[in-house]
Amino acid sequence: MAEKIAVAMSGGVDSTVCAALLRKDHEVHGVFMNLGLPDQMEQIARVGMVAELLGISLEVIDLADIFAREIIDYFCRSYAAGRTPNPCVICNPRIKFGKLLDAVRESGIDKMATGHYVRVTHDKNGSHLLRGLDRKKDQSYFLCGLSQEQLQHLVFPLGGLTKDEVYRLARGLGLDHRPSAESQDVCFLKNQGPGDFLKRKTDCAKGDIVTQNGEKVGSHEGVFHYTIGQRRGLGVCDTTPYYVTGLNAEKKQVIVGKEADLWHNELLVRAANWLSGAAPPLPARFEVKIRYRHQAAVADIYEKGELLRVVFTQDQRAITPGQFAVFYDNDEVIGGGEIVSRA
């Protein structure tokens, strides 16, 4: 009898091809996370059509309440505190590979697959998370919070493929229309900016735009409209452009400076997760990404009390509290944690 495997379905091309590849050798069961989003019924209908096309079962698992508590609340709290959060990094270990994987395993299915562009290998030292072969689509950054226990039960069939190869496979299934558009990084924003979303969720605390010397040069409608490195929308004129260099939620201040003020070589990280289950001997040198689209850069990592101090060999632009620093050893994700501040 073929081994059972669950596939987290979204209706998109990646999860569809993922399920199609696995059904050749497995008994595939589709699962869908109902997160209580505005277009959820439309998405459930689309996923149902895909499951019917593939000839697989589909179970809708309701995770709306915990998603609201764990992810949307975190998102709102972070912006209110002057941080720029990354909800996908939090959602993956807690919801998708946390509560959803738990539900799958409780149903008697030991493995779950998704359409992420990452790879997992297993040896005597445990499970290892690797970058996807297609570097442009690699999503390993978002999975830095996973554990050994979770990795042991996960399958990523697209990790060794390029996006173009996935589309060719989709066309071979008769999916020339592509089941849906590319997934958004922040699923609950739905084509709106964080500021528009947060205006309905938090108090709009107006305040001042100030230079690094404290000089007022403008006003704003809430610090959550801004992030480090932002240039547009400041309404501040000078002979050379101003950029957001800091946010002080307590004082309701957006701090601005020049391009040179965005470059730093140190940061502090809290709540580091090590995918092996234990920290490596520190100090250690790794490549570090400070946001998803950042080109990984070489840095030395030191212990600093309960925090980690990351020192780059070259200055990096727009280090942003609330984002995640993710550590790589060649293609392997070693760990990561939330950026607290520039050191």
Q: In CATH, which of 3.40.50.620, 3.40.50.1360, 3.40.1380.10, 3.30.360.10 is domain 3-172? A: 3.40.50.620
Residue 225 has pLDDT above 80, yes or no: yes
Report the CATH number of the 262-341 domain: 2.40.30.10
Q: Are the C-beta atoms of residues 186 and 161 closer than 8 Å to each other?
A: no
Sign of the CA dihedral 186, 192, 194, 200?
negative
Report which of residues 179 and 70 the model is more confident about: 70
Which 3 state secondary structure label does DSSP give 306?
A: coil
Q: Are the C-beta atoms of residues 57 and 94 closer than 8 Å to each other?
A: no
pLDDT tens column, 277-320: 999 999 999 999 999 999 999 999 999 999 999 999 999 999 99
d(CA 332, CA 343): 26
Tell me yes or no: is domain 203-257 CATH 2.40.50.140.
no
pLDDT tens column, 97-111: 999 999 999 999 999
Q: How many other β-carbons are positioned within 10 Å of the β-carbon of residue 200?
A: 8
Q: Are strands 154-155 and 112-113 parallel, antiparallel or unpaired?
A: parallel
Give pLDDT, residue 197. 78
Give pLDDT, residue 229. 96
Task: Kindly state the tokens that stand for 54.
Answer: 């593939």
Local structure of residue 141 (DSSP, 8 states): G
Instruction: Establish whether domains 3-172 and 203-257 are of one fold.
Output: no
Q: Are the C-beta atoms of residues 95 and 107 closer than 8 Å to each other?
A: no
Catalytic residues: 91, 187
pLDDT tens column, 163-188: 999 999 998 887 754 444 455 457 87
d(CA 47, CA 136): 26
Q: Are the C-beta atoms of residues 84 and 320 closer than 8 Å to each other?
A: yes
- Give the domain ranges of the chain: 3-172, 203-257, 262-341
Residues with Cβ within 8 Å of residue 318, at least 6 apart in sequence:
228, 229, 262
d(CA 243, CA 232): 8
Q: Quote the Cα angle for 318-194-117, to 5°.
A: 70
Give pLDDT, residue 182. 52
235 pLDDT band (50/70/90 cuts)? confident
